[in-house]
C-alpha cells in the first residue's frame, strides 16, 4: 500500500502546553502511526527566525537525508511558496501557527507532530553536520552540539550553576571540552531531544515569554528531576549570521523560574515551597491582587503534582555540579 502526500491543511486545536492552534501542510508520513524500523530515525524541527535566505539550502540538505523527517515551524501568514516546497520534498511538513507564542511552546506542539523518538531542534540560521546514522546517543533528555560562530570560533555554550555573591544563584558558560560535558540549558533551544523524556517533564513552560528564562527553567527542572543535558562532540553547529544576544534581564518569566526552581527546598522525599516567599515576589512584579492569587493557586497545584519528582534542590545541584563528570 503506497502512501500519498497530502498538501490539504489539517487543523490542530490549542492545548495547554503548545503555541495555540496551527495548520499542518505537507509530508507523506501520516500522523499517529506506531514506530517501526521503516520510520524516520530522526525528526528535525526547524525554527525560522530572521532572514529566510538560507531556507532553500537547509531544506535541500535536510530533506536529502532519506530517513529524516523535517518539520518547519512558521508563523501565520504562511510563506507564499509553501505548497511548492511541500510538493518538492516528500518528507517536509510545515506547522503554521495562527497566533504568536513562545519558541518553547511551539516546540512542545511540534514534538507531538513528530514521528520519531529523537528530535533535532535547529535554528534557520545554522549549518549542521548532521548525517545518518546518528552518533550513538546515551539515554538522556537532550544531546547538544558544539557551536561555532560565523568566524569559526568555538562558543562557550555549556552553562553551569554557580553560587554568586551572598550565595545568589548565577550561571557560568564554558567551552564543551569532551563528550558528556553537562549544561543547564539546550543552547539556543538546539540539540537532539528524546521526545519521551521531553514530554515526561512537561516540556517548556509556555507561560515564560523570555527565551533565556524559559530555557533555564526547562534545564533546571530537568536536572532537579534527574534528567540530563550533555554535549556530544561529533555534533557540530555553525552560525551563518552573527550571534543573537540573549536578554538576561529579570522579568515576570524570571519570577516564575525562581519560584519553580530556586525557591524550592528539599524536604525528605519531596520538596516544599515557602509560601512567605511567594506573595512579596509576585507583588513586587506589579501584579494585581487577583493575578497574584491566580499565580499562587497555580504554583501550589503544580507543586502538589510534582513534589515527589525532585531528586535534589537548586542548592544541592549547584554544590554537586561536576564539569568533569
Question: What are the backbone angles phi and psi of residue 285, rounded to the nearest 5°?
Answer: -85, 0
pLDDT for the residue numbered 135: 61
- Total-model pTM: 0.88
Which residue, among 298, 299, 254, 238, has the nearest Cα to 272 in the 3D structure?
299
Q: Cα(143)–Cα(251) distance, rounded to whole angstroms?
A: 29
Which residue, among 286, 291, 323, 71, has the nearest Cα to 181 in the 3D structure?
323
What CATH number belongs to 10-239? 3.90.550.10
Between 23 and 133, the more confident residue is: 23
262 Cβ neighbours under 8 A, 6+ residues apart = 169, 220, 314
Q: Assign 134 to helix, strand or coil.
A: coil
Name beta bridge partners: 193.
119, 142
pLDDT of 35 over the 50 cut: no
DSSP secondary structure letter of residue 120 = E
Positive or negative CA dihedral for 174, 176, 182, 186?
positive
**270-300 in b/e burial notation, b at 16+ Cβ within 10 A?**
ebebeeeebeebbeebebeeeebeebbeebe
Strand stretches in 254-303, DSSP E: 265-267, 270-272
Can you give the C-alpha Rg of the chain in angstroms?
Answer: 20
> What does the chain come to in residues?
325
Residue span(s) of the chain under CATH 3.90.550.10 come to: 10-239
pLDDT digits (tens, 9 = 90+) for 151-171: 999 999 999 998 766 666 889
Range from 33-37, 97-101, 311-315 carrying the lowest mean pLDDT: 33-37
- Grid coordinates in use for 203? 516540556
pLDDT of 75 over the 60 cut: yes
Q: Assign 284 to helix, strand or coil.
A: helix
Q: Cα(230)–Cα(71) distance, rounded to whole angstroms?
A: 24
| CB 189 within 8 Å of CB 121 | yes
pLDDT digits (tens, 9 = 90+) for 191-245: 999 999 999 999 999 999 999 999 999 999 999 999 999 999 989 999 988 888 8
Q: Cα(118)–Cα(111) distance, rounded to whole angstroms?
A: 10
- Give the number of other Cβ atoms within 10 Å of residue 5's Cβ: 16
pLDDT for the residue numbered 5: 32
Amino acid at each position: 500500500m503506497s502512501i500519498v502526500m497530502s498538501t490539504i491543511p489539517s487543523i490542530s486545536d490549542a492545548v495547554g502546553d503548545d503555541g495555540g492552534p496551527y495548520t499542518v501542510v505537507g509530508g507523506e508520513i501520516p500522523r499517529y502511526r506506531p514506530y517501526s524500523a521503516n520510520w524516520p530515525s530522526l525528526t528535525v524541527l526547524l525554527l525560522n527566525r530572521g532572514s529566510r535566505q538560507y531556507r532553500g539550502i537547509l531544506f535541500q540538505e535536510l530533506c536529502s537525508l532519506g530517513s529524516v523527517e523535517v518539520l518547519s515551524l512558521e508563523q501565520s501568514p504562511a510563506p507564499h511558496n509553501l505548497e511548492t516546497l511541500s510538493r518538492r520534498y516528500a518528507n517536509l511538513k510545515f506547522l503554521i501557527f495562527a497566533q504568536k507564542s513562545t519558541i518553547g511552546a511551539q516546540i512542545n506542539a511540534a514534538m507531538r507532530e513528530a514521528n520519531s523518538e529523537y528530535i533535532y531542534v535547529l535554528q534557520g540560521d545554522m549549518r549542521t553536520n548532521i548525517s545518518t546514522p546518528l552518533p550513538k546517543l546515551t539515554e538522556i533528555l537532550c544531546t547538544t552540539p558544539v557551536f561555532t560562530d560565523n568566524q569559526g570560533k568555538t562558543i562557550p555554550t555549556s552553562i553551569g550553576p554557580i553560587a554568586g555573591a551572598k550565595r545568589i544563584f548565577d550561571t557560568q558558560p564554558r567551552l564543551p571540552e569532551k563528550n558528556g560535558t553537562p549544561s543547564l540549558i539546550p543552547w539556543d533551544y538546539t540539540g537532539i531531544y528524546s521526545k519521551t523524556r521531553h514530554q515526561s517533564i512537561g516540556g517548556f513552560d509556555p507561560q515564560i515569554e523570555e527565551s533565556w528564562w524559559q530555557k533555564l527553567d526547562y534545564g533546571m527542572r530537568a536536572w532537579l528531576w534527574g534528567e540530563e543535558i550533555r554535549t556530544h562532540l561529533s555534533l557540530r553547529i555553525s552560525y551563518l549570521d552573527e550571534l543573537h544576544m540573549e536578554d538576561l534581564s529579570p522579568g515576570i518569566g524570571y519570577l516564575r523560574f525562581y519560584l519553580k526552581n530556586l525557591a524550592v527546598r528539599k524536604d525528605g522525599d519531596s520538596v516544599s515551597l515557602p509560601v512567605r516567599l511567594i506573595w512579596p515576589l509576585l507583588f513586587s512584579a506589579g501584579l494585581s491582587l487577583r493575578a497574584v492569587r491566580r499565580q499562587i493557586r497555580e504554583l501550589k497545584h503544580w507543586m502538589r503534582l510534582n513534589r515527589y519528582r525532585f531528586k535534589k534542590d537548586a542548592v544541592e545541584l549547584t554544590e554537586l555540579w561536576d564539569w568533569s563528570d
